[in-house]
Amino acid sequence: MSQLYEIRASFDRDTIVIYQAYRDAIAKPALEKQAFVSPFSLKRMTWIKPSFNWIMHRSNWGLKSGQENILAVHIKRSGWEKALSLGVLTSPENSVFKSGKEWEKKFKNAKVHIQWDTERSKRGAALGHFSIQVGLSSQIIEEYVNDWIVKIEDFTPTVRKLHGFIKNGNTKNFNRLHPKEKIYPVPENTKKQLMIK
């Protein structure tokens, strides 16, 4: 049986892939420079998500206005795990916080916000477990942009093909091309604050 809260991602020994959906003005320079540059803002929170199906659901397979470009951003696992260790949940869960006041204080000062959203199937149906979103505040975005990113890949052509396979019922080619994700081994000392058992 699947664990309710778990991180599923494409990763190797050193890096993990997170997905972001952007308009041309941000995506094109990022791909060219292999770094996020203006008009990408270092002053506002940016959310990074390792679940491919979840970002497909949110962006409607890259068809939503302003989310036409799907970027697969390969970042260092050391950076990802730092973000997780600094993360504070977006709600005052009883299993993590002694009181609403404790949560409020920690959340207010958090460099990283953690939100669990319902995971999605390839067709967007709600599944019985959750997908993590990691919100990087302006206090840590610069580190993400300058130190964690290893490669920025344009995943948009792959997304277009996968969406076509869904519409045509081509399961074999869809499964072949779909990113392979597995459960990410979260460090023991970080699990409790993320509600991971």
Question: pLDDT tens-digit profile of 45-65?
Answer: 999 999 999 999 999 999 999
pLDDT at 3: 62
Of 2 and 190, more confident: 190
| Residues linked to residue 166 through DSSP beta bridges, in sequence order | none
% of the chain exceeding 70 in pLDDT: 98
Reduced DSSP (H G I as helix, E B as strand, rest coil) percent helix, strand, coil of the chain, to 5: 35, 30, 35
Q: What is the pLDDT of residue 197?
A: 87
Residue 57 CA to residue 2 CA, distance in Å, equals 20
- pLDDT at residue 1, rounded to an integer: 38
29 upstream amide cis, omega within 30 of 0: no
pLDDT bracket for residue 147 (50, 70, 90): very high
What pLDDT, on a 0 to 100 scale, did the predictor assign at position 145? 97
**Torsion, CA 83, CA 66, CA 55, CA 185, rounded to 10:** -20
Entry pTM: 0.94
Burial level of 124, CB count in 10 A (0-12/13-18/19+)?
middle
CA dist 159 and 9 (Å) reads 17
